[in-house]
Amino acid sequence: MVTINDIAKLAGVAKSTVSRYLNGGAVSEKTKAKLDEIVAEHDYKPNKFAQSLKAKRTHMIGTIIPRLNSFATNEALRGLENSLRLSKNQLLITNADQSREREIEAISTLAKQRVDGIVFFAAAITPAHVKAFKEADVPVVIVGQSHPAFHCIIHDDEKAGFSVGSYAVANGHRNILVFGVDESDKAVGVTRRNGIEQAFAGHDIDYTFVKTSFAMKDAYEKALETLPQSQATFVIGATDNIAIGIMRAAHELQIEIPDQLSLAGFGGYEITEAVYPRITTVHYPFQESGELAAKILMELISEREVAMIQTLDNELLIRESTKKNA
């Protein structure tokens, strides 16, 4: 059975455009002609009962988060909730606890609760996610990762990685450790790492990549193993949590930061200013990402056209955990 998503894909337009066309809204003559042809060819008939249900807003918005103990997610949720409350919408929060299966279940559960839309804070987007969102048939905004089928908000992770890598190189560091995550998280595990490596290109860098997880404890344990065997003068943690885990290990190993080892992270978490020395990091506008997600979702619910991908900038904050290599 052909769905509205299928019609949109065949026509090469957004789902909201098809919805507007089916409800007699304004679309260009060229688009209307194309949709007329596709609808006729596939004998598509809108589900009138479903349309009548969708016309009745619940003013409930669902969100799926990867874990509760995330500064980035909590800041984004603050922006999302504040914006939705101002527009008289209620936020339903589902914690997937870093489980792909729970994320898929949450999509289905939220759809059954008849939410008006879903904001998904994604670590990865699998075919199972795509299928679940298609079946849910509600507007979706994805934060943190990009996918051509959905409206997405991403951070400029390549720029962030390049800024930290370039800073290390510019300060005379040639032996560098990077503690990162695997490639299942494309933003952090692929794009951010690519940015770092681009900064190293052409500078004869002795560079070692150490795989860890997002957990501070895992980074700490990896650093306890790695630092004593390394001649690195600069270490980069793919997130501030990872950087803090490395800092703890360095203190226990009596490696002085920054005199013996410079340290940098990503995120701009509040804790990076509470520790000593304060950690050089890249500040990300997480709260703004939540506010933008709310704005985009409201536009989609109102069946307005919205750009498929929006990229937020970031800023390198240089602090006391890094110094020039003598």
DSSP 141-199: EEESS--TTSEEEEE-HHHHHHHHHHHHHHTT--EEEEEE--TTSIIIIIIIHHHHHHH
Burial annotation 283-307 (CB, 10 A radius, 16+ → b, else e): bbbbbebbbbbbbbbbbbbebeebe
Give all strands of the β-sheet with 309-312 in edge-to-edge order.
90-95, 60-65, 117-121, 140-143, 151-155, 309-312
CATH number for the domain that contains residue 219: 3.40.50.2300
The one-character DSSP state at 229 is G
User: Quick one: DSSP state of residue 12?
Assistant: T
Please report the pLDDT score of residue 36 as a whole number.
86
Residue 199 lies in a domain: yes
- Tell me the three state secondary structure of residue 210: strand
The residue among 269, 282, 271, 273 whose CA lies nearest residue 312 is: 282
The secondary element (H helix, E strand) that includes residue 272 is helix 271-274
46 falls within a domain: yes
Residue 143 domain-assigned (yes or no): no
Q: Does 197 reside within a domain?
A: yes
Q: What is the pLDDT of residue 35?
A: 87
Return the number of other C-beta atoms located less than 10 Å from residue 20's C-beta. 18
Q: Are strands 315-317 and 281-283 parallel, antiparallel or unpaired?
A: antiparallel
Give pLDDT tens digits along the chain (326 positions): 678 888 888 888 887 788 777 766 667 888 888 888 888 888 877 665 455 445 578 899 999 999 888 889 999 999 999 999 998 999 999 999 889 999 999 999 999 999 999 999 998 899 999 999 999 989 999 999 999 999 999 999 999 999 999 999 999 999 999 999 999 999 999 999 999 999 999 999 999 999 999 999 999 999 999 999 999 999 999 999 999 999 999 999 999 999 999 999 999 999 999 999 999 999 999 999 999 999 999 999 988 889 999 999 999 999 999 999 97
- Residue 109 falls inside a structural domain: no
Query: Which pair of structure tokens corresponds to residue 315?
Result: 């800023």
User: Has residue 28 been placed in a domain?
Assistant: yes
User: Could you tell me which residues come within 8 angstroms of residue 169 by beta carbon, excluding any fewer than 6 positions away?
Assistant: 199, 200, 203, 205
- Taking the C-alpha atoms of residue 285 and residue 268, their distance in angstroms, rounded to an integer, is 9
Q: Which two tokens stand for residue 30?
A: 């060229």
Asked if residue 128 is part of any domain, the answer here is no
Structural domain of 164: 157-284
pLDDT of residue 154: 96
CATH code for position 29: 1.10.260.40
Q: What strand order describes the sheet that includes 175-180?
A: 206-211, 175-180, 234-237, 262-264
Q: Which residues contact 185 (CB under 8 A, 6 or more apart)?
A: 123, 124, 145
Taking the CB of residue 250, how many other CB atoms lie within 10 A of it? 21
Task: Identify which of 107, 109, 155, 169 has the alpha carbon closest to the alpha carbon of residue 133.
Answer: 107
- State how many domains the chain has: 2
Residues 51 and 166 grouped into a single domain: no
What tokens does 139 get?
């507007």
User: What one-letter code names the amino acid at 269?
Assistant: Y
* Residue 274 forms part of a structural domain: yes
User: Which DSSP state fits 88?
Assistant: T
- The answer to whether 59 touches 116, Cβ cutoff 8 Å, is yes
